Structure 1
Amino acid sequence: MRADYTTNTKISVTESGGWASAEADALLFFTTEGEDPGSLPDLPAELRAELDRLKRTGRFKGGAGEVTVLPAYGRLAAPYVIAAGLGAAPAGRDTLRLAAVQAAREAQRLGLGRLAVLLPEGAFPAEPPRGGTYAAPLAAQGAGGAGAAGGASVKSASASGDGVQAEPQGESGADARTAAEARPASQSASAADAEPAGATSSATTVFTVAEGLLLGAYRIATYAREAKPRQELAAAQLFVQRDALNGEALQAAVAAAEAYAVATNYARDLTNLPGNLLLPSDLAEEAEKLAGQFGIACEVLDEQAIVERGMGALAAVGLGSANPPRMITLSYDGDPSSGEVLGLVGKGVTFDTGGISIKPAGGMEEMISDMGGAAVLLGLLIVVGRLKPRINLRIVIPAAENMPSGTAMRPGDVITTLSGRTVEVLNTDAEGRLILADGVTYAIEKGATRLIDIATLTGAVLVSFADVATSAQTNDDAFLASVLQASIQAGEKVWQLPNFPEYREMLRSTVADIKNAAAHKWAGAIMGGSFIEAFIEDKPWIHLDTGGTAWLWGDRGVDPKGGTGAMVRTLAEYICGAGV
C-alpha cells in the first residue's frame, strides 16, 4: 500500500518581524493585482524594483494562482523569493488557498523544501460559487455548516457543555429548528465566537495557507524502477502580525489544516492505487489499520458473513470476481449523550469493468477510482481521529470488485437486498447503487438517524456538470443547506439536483420492488440517487455523486491530476467545523 496518513512537513507560526531574515530556502509572500511592491519594505530595494518591473511589463501581474520566483542575489538569508498572486483585491479564502497551493507546487518543482511565509493581512471570507445561487435555502448563509456564524470549533468527546445550539439568524420557528438539528453537535456555539475579530481572521488565514501548502505539496506515487522518491515540503514557517499572534488559536488552526490536508492527500493516494494493489480485502485491512491508529471500532464482514446477513446486493456484485467483497463498518461515538447518529456510506468498488454490461475499453483504467467514496470516508476518519469532534458516526463501506465471468451477476437477475426489497437488475454497470442499498440499510441497522452517501456513482453526472461540481440530492433541504455551507467554507463546488417523485416512478419494476436502471437514458445521475432513496427508510438523507470530481486528467486549481479527494474537506468541515 502506498497511501499515507501522516505528513513530515513541520508547520510553525511566529511573529512577522523576522520574516525577511528567516533561514529558509525561499521567502513566500502574497500580492494582489496592482499592489505596490513598495508595501514590502523588508525586501531589498533591488527585489522590489524587479517586482515592480515584472508587474508593469505584465510578466507577473499578481493574478489569482499566478506565481513567480526571484533569486535574492545574496541580499537575503534565503536564496529565493516567491510571489504568489491573489488577483484583484479583496481576495477570498479560495483564492488564498489556491495561491498557497501553487506556491507549494512551484517550490517543490525547484527543490525548495523550507519556506518562510509572510501571511497577508485582513480577512479572507468564504467565496460562494460564482454563476448562480444554491437551490437549497442557505438562510442568509446561516443555515448551518462550519463557520456559518464566524467560525465553529472542534470539541473533544470529553468537552463540557450541553450541546445547545443557537437558532441561525435569518430563520424562524420550525425552519430554524430544522436547520439547527441538521448540524452536528460539534458545531454548537463555542469560545471561538468570543474571540476578537482580528484573532479569528488570523486563524482563518493560518488555516487556509497551511492547508493550501500541504495540498499543493501532494505528489502522486509512481512505480517506475528508477522513480524518484516523493519529495515533501519539509517546513513552512508562517509569519503573522504581532497583534494577531494568539498562540493557542493559531496552533489549533494549524492542527486542523494538517488534519484536513493529510486526509485529502490520503484519499488521493487510495484513489490512485492500481486495481491489483487495492482489492476489497485490502480496503478492509486499510480501514482496520486506521481504526487501530485512532482507537475507533471497526467491523469487517467477509463474503460468507455478507451472505449470512442477507446482503444480497453486495454479494451479487462480487459474484463475478475472484476477489470477494467486504462490508466495512467504523463506529465513532464522540457524543454518547446524544441519540443522533450520522451515517456515512461510501461506495468501495475497487475496480469496475461494468460486469456483464461491460464498459468500453477506452478509459477503463480510470475505474481504479470507483472506490472514491470509500477513499473519502477513510480520509475523513483521519480528521475524526485527530480532531475528535463531538458527534456520533457510523461509517459504512461496502467494498467489491465488479468483474465479468461465468459466475457474474446477469442483466435480468432479481436479487434480494438486506432491506428485504427485491431489485431487478437491468444493467450490471449500475452496481454502485446496489452495494449502497445494502450499505445504507446496514448503517440504519447500526443506529444511523440521518444519512449521507458518497459515490462515484454515475458517468451521467459529467453530462450535467463535467468534472467541475459534485451533484447532490436530498429529501431534506435544511440538512443539505448545512452541507452546502460547509462546501463553501471548504472551497468545493456542490450543486443540487432535483429529487421529484416522478423519478422514482421510472424505476418501478414489473417483477421486483424496484429496478436498478430506467428503461431510458435520461436523467441518469438523478436516477442513481433516486434508487438509493428507496432504501433510506424516510431518514434525512443526502446523496453526493463525485463521478465527475473524484478524478481529473490534469491539474486544475487546488486539485491534482488523478485522484482528487473531492469532498473530504467538505465533510470534514460539516462534521468538525474547524476551518475557522
Structure 2
Amino acid sequence: MEIKVITGDIAQIEADAIVVSLFEGVEQPGGATAVVDRALDGVISSLISRREIKGKFGEVSIVHTFGKLPGRMVAVAGLGKSQDLNADRIRGVAGEFCRALRKLNCRKIATILHGAGAGGIEPVASAEAIAEGALLGLYSFTKYKKPEYEDVKEMLIVVKEEERAPSLERAVEKARVVAEAASLARTMVDEPANYMTPTRMAEAAREIAGKYDLGLKVLEVEDMEAMGMGALLGVARGSNEPPKLMALSYRGDGRSQEALGFLGKGITFDSGGISIKPSEGMGEMKGDMAGAAAVVTALGAIAQLKPQVNVTAIIPVTENLPSGTALKPGDILKAMNGKTIEVISTDAEGRLILADALCYAQKLGLSPLIDLATLTGACRIALGTLYGGLFSNNRDLAEKVLKAGERVGERMWQMPMPAEYKELIKSEIADIKNSGNRLGGAITAALFLAEFAGDTPWVHVDIAGPASSTKESGYLVKGATGFGVRTLVEFALSEAERGETK
C-alpha cells in the first residue's frame, strides 16, 4: 500500500472511504469529524445520540455518504477514552479501520491525523503511528492461499497546514521501513519449516545484505568445528539440514570500531529432539526462529534509516530433530568458551545455540548484547502473549531496552535473576546443565545464557509469548507478530542519538 501526505479538507477528498474519529463519551463531535458531520446533515451526531456510534477503542462505524461527499463512505474510528490515548493505540486504531475498509472493497482511503487535536498527540507521532498501524494491520500471509480480499492500494493522510507536510512525510517513510521489516519477519516465521530451512534463512540474510549493502559472513559446519562451537553443532546433529551461523553487519559510524550486538534464536523447526514434544501443536514450532527473523529484518530497516551507529547481528540457525545421530539426554557438550554442558533435555536447545552465539559475539567485541528468543513456555505462562520477559546483567541497558519497547508499543516486563537459582542448573559432571526443574524455568534459562554473556552488558528477551497472535487485534493479525523488530530499530536509533550528543 502506498501512503501519501496531502494538504486539503478531508470532507472534499475523493476516495472510497474517508476516516474520522471519536473519543468514547463524546456526545458532540469536534474538529474534522464535525466538518464531515455537517456535510452529512448531522447523521454522525444522530448516530451518537442513538448510541449506535460509541467511540469505543477499536470500534469502526460505517456511514454511507449517498453523494453528499466525494467519498463513498465515512468510517468513524473509535479512539476509546481520551486519557488512554497514546501512539500505540493510534497504531491499533489504524490497523482496525484499514482491515474493516478492506473487507468493504475500499482501494483508496483518506484519513485525518487521529489524536493530533484534542488528543494531544504530536502530529508527527500520529502520522507515524497511523502509517505503521495501517501497514502492520493489513499484513496477510497468502503465499499458499488465494487472498480473501483485495489489497488497499493507497492511503492519504490529509492535513490542513502545508508546512507540516515535509516532517510528516519523513515520519511516514520511517514507519514504512519499520513496518515492512516487521512484516518480512512475520512472513519468515509464517513460512512452513519445509521451506524456511537454515539454508533458506541464510539466503534471506544474503538478500537483505545485498539489497542494503550490509556485511555478511556465514559460518558453515567446518568453521564452527574449527571454533569449537560444540553446543550449536550438538543441537544440529539430528538434522540432515546443515546449521548456519550468520554475522550480518551494518556500519553507520566510521569513527568507531565499537558495535552493538543483536542475537536471535533460529530453530527453524523444534520437535524437541529425543526429548520429543507432544504432536498436538508441534506445527507451531516452525516459529521457533522468530528471534532470528526479527534480528535479520531489523538490520535491513536500520540500514535504510542510516543511524550513525554500528550494529552486528549474530544468528545461529538449525533444526532440532530426533534421529540416530541426534543429541541425547545425558550427553555432554563443550561450548566455544570451553564450558562443558550436561544435556538434561534436548528440548532446551535454544539456549545451547545461543551459548555459542554469545561467545562468538564476545569474540567479535560486540557490546552491549541483546538477544531475542522464543526460549521458554514458562515465560509465556508467566506473562501471557502481550509481554516479553526481559532479563539482564546491566540495569542501565535493561532500562534503555524497556523504554525503546515502550516507545514502539512492544511491551516487556523485567524478570529477576536471583543468584540462588543458579543451584538449579549446577551439574555434578559438567560445568553447567541445560535445564533445571519445572520451577522458574524462564529464569533458569536466562541464568544459563548469562554464563556465556560474561561481563558484557547483556539483555535477553524471552519472546515466547508475544511472538505470535491467535487473533486479529489492532495492528496484530493471526500468526506471527514480528515482535522485537521495532524495539531493536528504536534502540539502534536512540543509541545513535546518544552518540551524537556525547
Bin the TM-score by the shorter chain: over 0.9
Match for 1:323: what amino acid? E
Residue-pair matches, total: 492
Partners of 2:369 and 2:387 in 1: CA distance: 21
Alignment correspondent of 2:449:
532
Contact 2:9/2:160, CA 8 A, preserved across alignment = no
Structure 1: gaps spanning 5 or more residues: 1-8, 127-200
Q: Tell me if 1:12 matches 2:7.
A: no
Contact 1:101 1:213 in 2 (8 A): yes
Given candidates 289, 293, 301, the residue that maps to 1:375 is 293
Offset of residue 360 of structure 1: 0.6
Equivalent residue in structure 2 for 1:102, among 93, 96, 104: 96
Query: How far is the alpha carbon of 1:322 from its aligned partner?
Result: 1.2
Cα distance, 1:341 vs. partner? 1.6
Amino acid at match of 2:73: Y
Q: Provide the C-alpha distance between the structure 1 equivalents of 2:309 and 2:25, rounded to a whole number of angstroms.
A: 46
Partner residue in 1 for 2:250: 332
SS in 2 for 1:85: strand
Q: SS of 2:42's equivalent?
A: helix
1:41 deviates by 4.4
1:122 CA drift (Å): 3.2
Match of 1:234 among 150, 153, 157: 153
Match of 2:16 among 16, 25, 34: 25
Aligned-residue offset at 1:301: 1.4
Please, which of 63, 75, 78 is the counterpart of residue 71 of structure 2? 78
Q: Contact 2:20–2:76 at 8 Å: present in 1 too?
A: yes
Alpha-carbon distance in structure 1 between the residues aligned to 2:373 and 2:431: 23
Aligned match of 1:558 = 475
State the partner residue of 1:6.
none
Match of 1:315 in 2: 233
Quote the residue 1:118 is aligned against. 112
Shift of 1:14: 1.9
What's the CA shift for 1:537?
2.2
Structure of greater relative contact order (alpha carbons < 8 Å, 6+ residues apart): 1
Cα deviations by residue, 1:84-113 (Å, 9 ceiling, x for unpaired): 111112422222111111011111112212
Residue in structure 1 matching 2:25, options 34, 44, 55: 34
Whether 2:266 is the aligned partner of 1:348: answer yes
Task: Quote the Cα distance in structure 1 between the aligned partners of 2:391 and 2:277.
Answer: 26
User: Which of 281, 295, 298 pairs up with 2:213?
Assistant: 295
Paired position in structure 1 for 2:49: 56
Q: Output one character per residue of 1:292-343: Cα deviation in whole Å (capped at 9) or x when no partner.
A: 0000000111222222221111111111011111111101121132343211
Opposite residue 538 of structure 1, the aligned amino acid is: D
SS of the counterpart of 1:405? coil
On the 8 A contact 2:102/2:149 being kept in 1, the answer is no
The residue that corresponds to 1:255 in the other structure is: 173
Q: Deviations over 1:114-155 (max 9, x none)?
A: 1111113338679xxxxxxxxxxxxxxxxxxxxxxxxxxxxx
Q: Distance in 2 between matches of 1:82 and 1:207?
A: 20
1:214 paired to 2:132: no
Q: After TM superposition, give the deviation of residue 577 of structure 1 in Å.
A: 4.4
CA distance in 2: counterparts of 1:125 and 1:223, whole angstroms: 43
On the 8 A contact 1:115/1:236 being kept in 2, the answer is: yes
**2:474 is the alignment partner of 1:567:** no
Aligned match of 2:305: 387
User: What is the aligned partner in structure 2 of residue 361 from structure 1?
Assistant: 279
Cα distance 1:48–1:397, how it changes in 2: closer, same or farther (>3 A)?
farther
Q: What is aligned with 1:452? A: 370
Contact 1:37–1:52 (CA<8 Å) still a contact in 2?
A: yes
The residue matched to 1:76 in structure 2 has which SS? coil
Q: Deviations over 1:261-308 (max 9, x none)?
A: 111111111110101011000000100010000000001112222222
457, 460, 464: which one pairs with 1:543? 460
Which whole-Å CA distance do the structure 1 matches of 2:474 and 2:273 have between them? 34
CA distance in 1, matches of 2:149, 2:194: 21
Following the alignment from structure 2 to structure 1, what is the Cα–Cα distance between the partners of residues 150 and 315? 31
3-state DSSP of counterpart to 1:398: strand
Contact 2:91–2:474 (Cα < 8 Å) also in 1? no
Instruction: Work out the CA distance in 2 between the residues paired with 1:491 and 1:252.
Output: 20
Q: 1:99 to 1:577 in 2, by over 3 A?
A: farther
Distance in 2 separating the partners of 1:115 and 1:496: 40
Which segment is superposed worse, 404-413 or 231-240? 231-240
- The CA RMSD over aligned residues, in Å, is 1.9
Contact 2:374 2:462 in 1 (8 A): yes
- Match of residue 508 from structure 1: 426
Identity score, percent: 38
In the aligned structure 2, how far is the partner of 1:230 from the partner of 1:429? 40
SS of residue in 2 equivalent to 1:86: strand
Q: Give the partner amino acid of 2:104.
A: L
- Residue 204 of structure 1 deviates from its aligned partner by 1.1
Give the conservation status (yes or no) of the 8 Å contact 1:219–1:231.
no
Shift of 1:38: 5.8
Contact 1:124 1:204 in 2 (8 A): no
Q: Is the 8 A contact 1:101 1:558 kept in 2?
A: yes
- The reply on whether 1:437 has 2:358 as its aligned counterpart is no
Gaps of 5+ in 2: 498-502
Structure 1 residue 564 displacement after superposition: 0.6
- Are the aligned partners of 1:123 and 1:202 in contact in 2 as well (CA < 8 Å)? no
The one-letter code matched in structure 2 to 1:238 is I
Matched residue type, 1:362? E
Contact 1:394/1:446 (8 A) holds in 2: no
Q: TM-score, normalised by structure 2?
A: 0.94
Q: 2: CA distance between counterparts of 1:44 and 1:556?
A: 28
**For the Cα contact (< 8 Å) 1:552–1:561, is it kept in 2?**
yes
1:526 maps to a residue whose letter is I
User: Secondary structure of 1:258's partner?
Assistant: helix
Aligned to 2:410: 492
**Counterpart for residue 493 of structure 2:** 576
How many Å apart are 1:570 and its aligned residue?
Answer: 1.5
